Amino acid sequence: MTHPDALLSLSIAAVGQRIHRGTVHSADLVAAAQDRIARLNPALNAVLQLRPEAPREALEIDRRHTTLPPASVLAGIPLAHKDMFFRSREVTTFGAHRSFWQRATSTCAVKERLDQCGAIDLATLNMAEFAAGPTGENAHHGRCRNPWAPERLSGGSSSGSAAAVAARLVFGSIGSDTGGSIRVPAALCGVTGLKPTTGRVSSHGAMTRVWTQDSIGPIARSAEDCSLLLAAIAGPDHRDPLCARDAAPFQHAATAPQPLRIGVLEALIAEAESDTGRCIDAALRELAGHGAALYARDWSDIDAVHTLTEIAHKAESTALHDTQLRAAPDHYGAATRLRLEEGMLIPAVRYLQALSMRPIMAERFINEALKDCDVVALPTVACEAPYPPQHSGDSAVQGRLLARLTRYTKPFNYLGLPALTVPCGFGSTGLPVGLQFVARPFCEAQLIAIGRFYQRLTDWHDHCPELAAMQEKTTPHDLG
């Protein structure tokens, strides 16, 4: 009989097949996940609240598994999601002060679609306050810790999503990405994360962070598992006016393009810390050794794009919080409040200029960096997981840390392009490094196929952190 922890280390595709054959039961997976959360979460602080309905929902899937169509590969799979997605009659915290919590009257689009596939919504997960930070720190719910090194940052804002998947608490998670909030924690925690094209996934019923740059997407242990999750949640939705309606439907691509053409942003790789650059170079050599053609590419616009990104990002996020920020500033954590207050200083003219430049900069990136290439490659983060800053309220310290974590991710939210991060090795400290691929709009299938190709050549995505020292038989934190 397979040990429960070994079952939780299987891929979504593998465990889904076992559920469909009846050799594994969803109720047993839910019980195993709950037990593992009880043992590990007190040290990780990735899970905020277990859903009491999950065991009953799993039993219902087991009761009718023989009638489920083969396409329902997610049926019975325990997932858990960033706590910013509404579910009817349940409380969503947004990672914020209790005064901001909301009891939803309807269910968000992504959870509706996962429910239709029979996936089990096991728990809500920790996140940065209002998804406003790439570190994994939270003034209200505590810091989510990195499973590879609890003293290091997990990354954010989808911190709980990446940590829970890396620690094998769940098989996958849905997060959001406005400046790297899927890709940064996925890279620092050694898992796979996909930021889809802006508008590929409906934001109906999800918390808005920056409406022109938000993307909702999956975090899982492999590109294949990300593909299964994206297939479930992608598609038009008339309830979300910013959701793409005319894009070709997402379809799983079985193989990477042949020959695979990769544009390499060499200057950005050279900027990264030495261990990160070494891992990226080794990954690209591996791909080249199996037929990929590498082309040196330059992206001289990155600093200009960063400036434009920050203008739009700060203006929109502050607009969303302006009334509450003025009424109850003390209900915000210091770092979040500081970033929101900066948005009040941005003139409307600069914001509109930043928006008007967006399609121009996207076209230039596609025509220059992506010219004659299927994807471009660069690091996801310039370094391995850093230590938390000693003075988190210091604006200069925060600014340097944010720039260090998001320099290679934030521009692609502004440009609206899809990006995938995959584990590609470990630094000298034993912490994971992420390789990022960026593609043309709505080319997620191609991105995932390239990620799957790389993950067939390597096993970095199968590595699991050593968690024995974390195990404590303690009840998970209960928000009541």
The residues that are catalytic are: 82, 157, 181
How many angstroms separate the Cα of 46 from the Cα of each of 356, 384, 391, 415?
A: 39, 20, 23, 30
Residue 152 dihedral angles phi and psi, to the nearest 5°: -100, 165
Q: To 10 degrees, the CA torsion angle through 320, 323, 324, 326? A: 130
70: left (phi over 0), alpha (psi -120 to 50) or beta: alpha
What tokens does 165 get?
A: 């998947």
Give the single-character DSSP code of 179.
Answer: S
303, with CB counted inside 10 A (0-12, 13-18, 19+), is: exposed
| Helix H or strand E segment including 163 | helix 159-166
In contact, 229 and 12? CB cutoff 8 Å = yes
> Cα–Cα distance between 441 and 446 in angstroms, integer?
11
Count of C-beta atoms within a 10 Å radius of residue 148: 25
Single out the residue of 192, 173, 181, 159 nearest to residue 44, CA to CA. Answer: 159
Q: CB neighbours of 363 closer than 8 A, spacing ≥ 6?
A: none
Number of C-alpha atoms within 13 angstroms, CB side, residue 443? 20
> Cα–Cα distance between 112 and 37 in angstroms, integer?
25
Render the burial of 383-400: b for 16+ CB within 10 Å, e for the rest: bbbbeebeebeeeeebee
> Cα–Cα distance between 420 and 434 in angstroms, integer?
10
What tokens does 192 get?
A: 């796979």
3-state helix, strand, coil in the chain (%, to 5): 45, 15, 40
What residues form DSSP beta bridges with 194?
420
